[in-house]
Amino acid sequence: MIIVMKPESSLKEKEEVINKIKELGYRPHVIHGTTRDVIGAVGDERGKFVLQSLEYMSGVEKVVPILKPYKLASKEIKKEPTIVKIADGVSIGDKKVVVIAGPCAVESEEQIIKVALAVKAAGADILRGGAYKPRTSPYTFQGLKKEGLKLLAKARKISGLPVVTEVLNPETAELVAEYSDILQIGTRNAQNYELLKKVGQLKKPVLLKRGMSMTIQELLMSAEYILSEGNRSLILCERGIRTFETKTRNTLDLSAIPVLKEETHLPVIVDPSHATGYSKYVPAMSYAAIAAGADGIMIEVHPEPEKALSDGQQSLTPEKFSEMIQKLRAFVTAAEREK
Ligand code: PEP
Ligand code: MN
């Protein structure tokens, strides 16, 4: 239910409403709007009509049900777009399009620092790199783990770029959060509800990738797991879905961007590297993502893609990446955004 407060309601009245929501066994989520605050009360759907009684409390304008199954992610509760602050001068979801770039995996100090400086020079805003890698085969490179996190922190210090890296399980979530600016939930974990709850409890922005066989509604329900634990700094990522097509690694569902923009206030970025699986297709799909309204893109870049320990085939060289960012600018302008 949404408890819409009167514009002139006092702090005390809001507190009383919050306490009443808790008393009734629901979780309050205060959302500060431009003209008024609303308080979302989420919990067991079956008994939610007891919340209707809040309509008679002082300071309350009205109480309305949230019709969508994803409550806190929906635009019913928050119409203004969410802007997620990552670091000083870097936010996702505002007018500026964000570029995340870096290798699939952190492989060595030399590699990550080289890429960090190269992508920064080319215009990237955030560095990516996996320290814990979820690989299809147990016999392939699994990541440098804690050592990889340390190298990422070093690359962040040297380049000044904030970093995003994947968290694979609840046990290592806090450790990963210590070393990174954004916690990535990968496609294989997008419905790992215990992990979603865990990152929802941490105070770090989360980048939630769409599961490769997940509907948009399921993606929003996964988002809801994170939001309902209290973490509002959430970014969604379309990274391609499984279809019958085999010419590309996945099929980039570009239409997910306008649909998500219609359904949710959360920022949406696109990962054309995992979506296509081939570096030669990455520029076209990056331009298309911006044209379709994405708030940013995430690109795999490796100094020597042919020697990469994972995903070399889809990784751009720093030179190709730089070229692509130059060309991207025209699409950014056409989409009435900035870079
Ligand atoms: C990644 O970004 O490193 C990754 C593993 O991507 P995905 O989870 O989308 O496959
Ligand atoms: Mn990868």
Q: What is the mean pLDDT of the chain?
A: 97
**Segment 208-260, tens digit of pLDDT:** 999 999 999 999 999 999 999 999 999 999 999 999 999 999 999 999 999 99
Which of 12, 34, 64 terminates a domain? The answer is 64
Same domain, 135 and 55: no
In a domain, 289, yes or no: yes
The atom number, within ligand 1, closest to the CA of 298 reads 2
pLDDT surpasses 90 at 34: no
Q: Is residue 77 part of a domain?
A: no
Ligand 1 atom index nearest CA of 271: 9
pLDDT score, position 283: 98
What is the 312 CA–ligand 2 centroid distance (Å)? 8
Of the candidates 307, 321, 234, which has an alpha carbon nearest to the alpha carbon of residue 273? 321
Based on the fold, state whether residues 55 and 90 are members of the same structural domain. no
Do residues 127 and 116 lie in contact, with contact meaning Cβ atoms separated by under 8 Å? yes
In sequence order, what DSSP letters do the residues of 273-326 get, joined into one string? HHHH-SGGGHHHHHHHHHHTT-SEEEEEB-SSGGG-SS-GGGPBPHHHHHHHHH
Asked if residue 147 and residue 18 are part of one domain, the reply reads: no
Helix (H, G, I), strand (E, B) or coil at 67: coil
What's the Cα-to-Cα distance from 220 to each of 96, 191, 214, 259, rounded to whole Å? Answer: 24, 11, 10, 11
190 Cα nearest atom in ligand 1: 8
Calculate mean pLDDT across residues 142-159: 98
- Asked if the model's pLDDT at residue 33 lies above 90, the reply is no
Q: What is the mean pLDDT of residues 53-62?
A: 96
- At 91, is the pLDDT very low, low, confident or very high (cuts 50, 70, 90)? very high
The rounded Å distance from CA 53 to ligand 1 centre is 46
Q: pLDDT tens digits, residue range 172-182?
A: 999 999 999 99
How much is the average pLDDT of 141-162? 98
Q: Are residues 154 and 233 in the same domain?
A: yes
339 assigned to some structural domain: no
Look up the domain containing 321 and give its range.
Answer: 84-334
**Number of domains, the chain:** 2
**What is the rounded average pLDDT of the residues 132-151?**
96
**Are 160 and 35 in a shared domain?**
no
Cβ 250 vs Cβ 212: under 8 Å: yes
Tell which atom from ligand 1 comes closest to the C-alpha of 310. Answer: 3
Length of the chain: 339
Helical H segments across 28-143, by residue range? 109-122
Q: Atom 6 in ligand 1: which residue has the minimum CA distance?
A: 186
What SS3 state is found at 270? strand
- Residue ending a domain, among 34, 64, 94, is 64
CATH (domain of 199):
3.20.20.70
Which residues sit opposite 235 in a β-bridge? 207
> Is residue 84 within 8 Å of residue 92, measured between CB atoms?
yes
Question: Strands across the sheet with 27-32, in order?
Answer: 27-32, 37-42, 2-5, 60-64
Please indicate, yes or no, if residue 89 is contained in any of the structural domains: yes
Q: How far is the CA of 186 from the centre of ligand 1 (A)?
A: 5
Residues 131 and 49 in one domain: no
Shared domain for 44 and 101, answered yes or no, is no
Residue 90 maps to a domain:
yes
Average pLDDT over residues 104-128: 98
Residue 30, pLDDT above cutoff 90: yes
pLDDT at 95: 98
Verify that 111 and 12 share a domain, yes or no: no
Ligand 1: lining residues by beta carbon, under 6 Å? 104, 130, 134, 166, 186-187, 209, 239, 271, 274
Could you say which of 35, 64, 93 is where a domain stops?
A: 64
Please compute the mean of the pLDDT values over residues 160-177 and round it to a whole number. 98
Q: Partners of 245 in the beta sheet?
A: none
For ligand 1, atom 3: residue with the closest CA: 104
To test the pocket of ligand 1, the residue of 112, 167, 209 to mutate (highest count of ligand atoms within 8 Å of its CB) is 209
- Contact, 186 vs 271, CB < 8 A? no
In angstroms, rounded to a whole number, what is the distance separating the alpha carbons of residues 297 and 328?
A: 11
- Quick check: 95 and 67 in contact, CB under 8 A? no
The residue behind tokens 């570096």 is 279
- Specify if 307 maps to a domain: yes
Question: 40-77: string of b/e by CB count within 10 Å (b at 16+)?
Answer: bbbbeeeebeebeebeeeebbeebeebebebbbbbebb
The domain that contains 23 carries what CATH number? 3.30.70.1140
Going by alpha carbons, the residue nearest to atom 4 of ligand 1 is 186
Residue 178 CA to ligand 2 centre (angstroms): 22
Ligand minimally distant from the alpha carbon of residue 131: 1
Q: Per the domain annotation, does 217 fall within a domain?
A: yes
Residue nearest to atom 10 of ligand 1 (CA): 187
CA-proximal residue: ligand 1, atom 9 (nearest): 187
pLDDT per position as a tens digit, 279-323: 999 999 999 999 999 999 999 999 999 999 999 999 999 999 999
**Radius of gyration over alpha carbons of the chain, in Å?**
21
Compute the distance from residue 27 Cα to the ligand 1 centre, in Å. Answer: 32
Q: How far is CA 293 from CA 13, 210, 299, 327, in A?
A: 39, 17, 17, 17
156 and 294 together in one domain? yes
Choose one of 141, 142, 184, 237 to mutate for the ligand 1 pocket test, by most ligand atoms within 8 angstroms of C-beta.
184
SS3 221: helix
> Are residues 49 and 90 located together in one domain of the fold?
no
Specify the pLDDT at position 35: 87
Whether 71 maps to a domain, the answer reads no
β-partners of residue 5 are: 60
Smallest CA separation from ligand 1 atom 8, residue:
186
Distance (Å) from CA 299 to ligand 1 centroid: 11
Residues 246 and 274 in one domain: yes
**56 and 88, same domain (yes or no):** no
